[in-house]
Amino acid sequence: MQLKFFGKLAEVTGKPTMEITSIADTDSLLNKLLQDFPKLKEYNILIAVDKKIVKQNQQLESHNEVALLPPFAGG
C-alpha cells in the first residue's frame, strides 16, 4: 500500500511517499508511524483513506490510497 505525506509531515518523514505492507487498520498504521518517526507525535495528523478523512479506526486493504495530512491551511 502506498502512503502519501503532505506539508510538514513530509518534512518529518523525509519523503512524500512510502510503501508499506501488511497493516491491518488505520490505528495500527498510526502507531507504526509514530514508532518509526517519533517526531510525528508533535503534530496533529489527519488520515485520509481514498481521499476521505477517517475519524475512527478503519480496516485497510492493499488497494487503498492512504494519506497523512497536517491541519489544513488553505486561503
Residue 14: left if φ>0, alpha if ψ -120 to 50, beta else—which one? left
Name which of 16, 5, 15, 22 is nearest 68 in CA terms: 5
Dig out the grid coordinates for 61 from the structure: 486493504
Is position 55 an interface residue for another protein (rule: CB under 8 A)?
A: no
- State how far the Cα of 75 lies from the Cα of 68, in Å rounded to an integer: 20
Q: Which of 2, 8, 28, 31 binds another protein (CB under 8 A)?
A: 8
Q: Which of 4, 25, 57, 58 binds another protein (CB under 8 A)?
A: 4
Q: Which of 6, 25, 27, 45 binds another protein (CB under 8 A)?
A: 6
Single-letter amino acid, residue 24: A
Q: Which of 37, 48, 57, 58 binds another protein (CB under 8 A)?
A: 48
Is position 37 an interface residue for another protein (rule: CB under 8 A)?
A: no
Question: Which residues are at the interface with another protein (CB under 8 A)?
Answer: 4, 6-8, 48, 51, 67, 69-75
